[in-house]
Amino acid sequence: MPANIFARSFTAYNTANLLIEGNAMHQHQLNLSEKSIDIICPVYNKQDYIEAFIKSVSLLPAHHFNIILINDGSTDNTLQVCERVLSERVLPNVYIVTQPNGGVSAARNTGLDLACSRYVWFCDPDDEVLPEAATLPDFIENKPGLVFSFSHDRFYVGTQRRVKVMHETDECLSGEAYLKNYNSFGRKNDITYLWNKIYSREAIGQLRFQNGMTYGEDNVFNVHFIKRNLLKNDSFYISTMPIYLYNKYAEGTLSTSLDENKIADLIEAEFAMLLLIAIVKKNIIPEKKRSIYKVTKVIGNKNQRAAKKYYFQAHKELNLRLFPFTGLAEAVYFVCMLTMTVPLMNKALKSAGKL
């Protein structure tokens, strides 16, 4: 794993400018009418999944929703599948935009430039929208909130197991309170997800996704959004209502495979989150330690030696002591990392159904 991954990441940590602005102009023109919610879905080589997604959003009331599909230069039959499904159904509120491949961030930015409704919802093409989402326009009407975060169903494709991931309560929070309670280092992590949230388009403003970032871009976008709206009261509404089916694929599939650039993106996203938390919390040593452990595990799945190097270098760069550990799990991982037995540990955990 090249050393420039570490250099890029630690430079990002020491850079406080987190805001990415767009110019709200785009070459594509669609005859969109303003509604309650615009769904933006980037699509790249998802010919086996996109039909199920389109069918799920077809159940939403057309007078309340626009569905914008951004075909990001797919090289398979994704576009043909989309066109076939639309020819078989009367879906006047579904729009397809095709552009040269630029990555998921560029595709979402295209959608944001085209959006015209009051709220925006970012979805993924290999997931589905739940029928309960049809009630969203009525639900959010006259409620305070610049972003609404909902519960969801999670389907583990490999084991065919479906679970409900529920928020514990309905509540309305300031940006600061949301950050403290739902950041990615705590038990109630919510900040890393895009697809369970409905965003005020006005609150997004000229904020855009970081082009070229292919992993952790959801997290970074939410970091920017929170920073923009951190001091606003009643800006984050938490709901127990489920609206989305998230399909989680096994390690090694196209949707979850990692390369060096993705690992670098992940590290950058983690450090961006640490910078934001530092605004509202004086001591973030526990969060720094959890972040290092998290990234080390991801790297360790690809390269044990690189994981070990990152673990020690990150502690040094962030002026942290190795001990105490964040918990027993990290202590066990540390021993396995030193003895180069991480794959054996992962295999044992997988056999026990804990990985």
pLDDT tens digits along 98-108: 999 999 999 99
Arithmetic mean of pLDDT, 306-323 = 95
Helix (H, G, I), strand (E, B) or coil at 327: coil
353: left (phi over 0), alpha (psi -120 to 50) or beta: left
> Residue 345's pLDDT band (boundaries 50, 70, 90)?
confident
What CA–CA distance (Å, rounded) separates 80 from 86? 10
Arithmetic mean of pLDDT, 307-333 = 95
What CA–CA distance (Å, rounded) separates 263 from 302? 10
The pLDDT of residue 350 is above 90 = no
Query: Token pair for residue 316?
Result: 């040094």
Q: Which pLDDT score, from 0 to 100, does residue 30 have?
A: 78
Q: Among the listed ranges 194-208, 294-308, 341-355, which one has the minimum average pLDDT value?
A: 341-355
Quote the Cα angle for 195-204-103, to 5°. 55
Arithmetic mean of pLDDT, 231-242 = 91
The pLDDT of residue 126 is above 90 = yes
Q: Give the residue, 249 or 33, on which the prediction is more confident.
A: 33
Query: Token pair for residue 223?
Result: 């970091």
Q: Which pLDDT score, from 0 to 100, does residue 301 have?
A: 85
The pLDDT of residue 252 is above 50 = no
Q: Which pLDDT score, from 0 to 100, does residue 337 have?
A: 95
> Residue 226's pLDDT band (boundaries 50, 70, 90)?
very high
Per-range mean pLDDT, top range of 18-27, 237-246, 346-355: 237-246
CATH for 4-248 (3.40.50.720, 2.60.40.1080, 3.90.550.10, 3.40.50.300) = 3.90.550.10
Residue 105 has a CB neighbour count (10 Å cut-off) of 22
Arithmetic mean of pLDDT, 323-332 = 94
Percent of the chain's residues with pLDDT above 90: 70
Q: Which pLDDT score, from 0 to 100, does residue 19 have?
A: 44
Percent of the chain's residues with pLDDT above 70: 88
What CA–CA distance (Å, rounded) separates 40 from 28? 14
Q: Is the dihedral of CA 120, 126, 130, 131 positive or negative?
A: positive
Residue spans of alpha helices (H) in 301-341:
304-317, 328-338
Q: Which pLDDT score, from 0 to 100, does residue 355 have?
A: 56
Residue-averaged pLDDT of the chain: 89
- Phi first, then psi: give them for residue 37, nearest 5 degrees: -140, 135
Query: Token pair for residue 33?
Result: 């009418």
Helix (H, G, I), strand (E, B) or coil at 43: strand
Long-range contacts of 156-159 (CB under 8 A, 24+ apart): 156/248, 157/247, 157/248, 157/249, 157/250, 158/249, 158/250
What CA–CA distance (Å, rounded) separates 223 from 213? 14
Q: Which pLDDT score, from 0 to 100, does residue 57 have?
A: 98
What per-residue string of b and e applies to 315-351 under the rule 16 or more CB within 10 Å gives b? eeebeeeeeeebeeebeebbebbeeeebeebbeeeee
Kindly list the domain boundaries of the chain, sorted by start residue: 4-248, 282-351
Residues in contact with 321: Cβ distance below 8 Å, sequence separation at least 6, in sequence order = 315
